Amino acid sequence: MSAADVAAALEDARFDARQDSRHEHLADDERGRAELAEWERIDQLLADAAPDTVYDPGIDAVVQEELAAEAAAAAVTEAEWREAQRIAARADELQALRELGTLEQTEPREGDEAARDELTRRAGGYVQADVDAWLAHALAAHLGHYRDPAAREAAADLLPVSLLTHAALLTELARLVPAADTGQLAFTARLAASEPEAAAALAAFLTRARSVQD
């Protein structure tokens, strides 16, 4: 755009602003004010440039920064959408495994904490006891991605206290009675859910007792 084109556009924006000011419902039109401010900025940009300089948004630093910010925001939105789709698909898969009765034989993957939350959300906030028990067992036995110490550490911020307490109890009882199976230790889930503080205290007591014996 030439300086004359920009000046004409600026005058049109000023005219529109004057018209809007006469109407109460348009007086606070932020879009109109932003458009006027932008034309004023471009007009000043050309006024400060060499004679006969034309306006090119491709080399306008402000415009390019805005476009870059919009592209970055769009990329974030796209990534969030893809992640939501992945979580929903994994939640569907876990639900299918539950219905087939094979959830306990499945190793957890990275991100299953979010899939657990999705299942809970779908159930209207109802705690999915079987999913929680599955994750607690996997966490205690270091199955799937919980083989990685960093994943187990991250789980402390991703899973509810009752589930973490359940896992801690399973860990200590498995060390105390290595031959015990999940059925024999089913009571730990009920204890962790109904008396989380007492369950945590018991897990801590067993940990201290084991350290003394060692």
Which pLDDT score, from 0 to 100, does residue 51 have? 86
Which pLDDT score, from 0 to 100, does residue 163 have? 93
Which pLDDT score, from 0 to 100, does residue 105 have? 92
Which pLDDT score, from 0 to 100, does residue 72 have? 96
Which pLDDT score, from 0 to 100, does residue 137 have? 92
Supply the DSSP string of 30-58, one letter for each residue: HHHHHHHHHHHHHHHHHHTS-TTPPP-GG
Which pLDDT score, from 0 to 100, does residue 187 have? 81
Give the CA angle between residues 174, 177, 183 to the nearest 5°.
70
Is residue 146 a contact partner of residue 138, using CB atoms and an 8 Å limit? Answer: yes
Please tell me the pTM assigned to this model: 0.67
Which pLDDT score, from 0 to 100, does residue 77 have? 95
Supply the DSSP string of the chain, one letter for each residue: --HHHHHHHHHHHHHHHHHHHTSGGGTT-HHHHHHHHHHHHHHHHHHTS-TTPPP-GGG-HHHHHHHHHHHHHHHHHHHHHHHHHHHHHHHHHHHHHHHHT-GGGSPP-TTHHHHHHHHHHHTTT---HHHHHHHHHHHHHT-GGGGSHHHHHHHHHHS-HHHHHHHHHHHHHHHHSTT--TTTTTHHHHHHHH-HHHHHHHHHHHHHHHHHH-
Which pLDDT score, from 0 to 100, does residue 205 have? 83
Averaged over successive runs of 10 residues, the pLDDT of the chain (214 residues) comes to: 86 82 66 86 88 87 91 96 96 95 94 96 88 93 95 94 89 76 75 79 79 63
- pLDDT tens, position by position, 71-110: 999 999 999 999 999 999 999 999 999 999 999 999 999 9
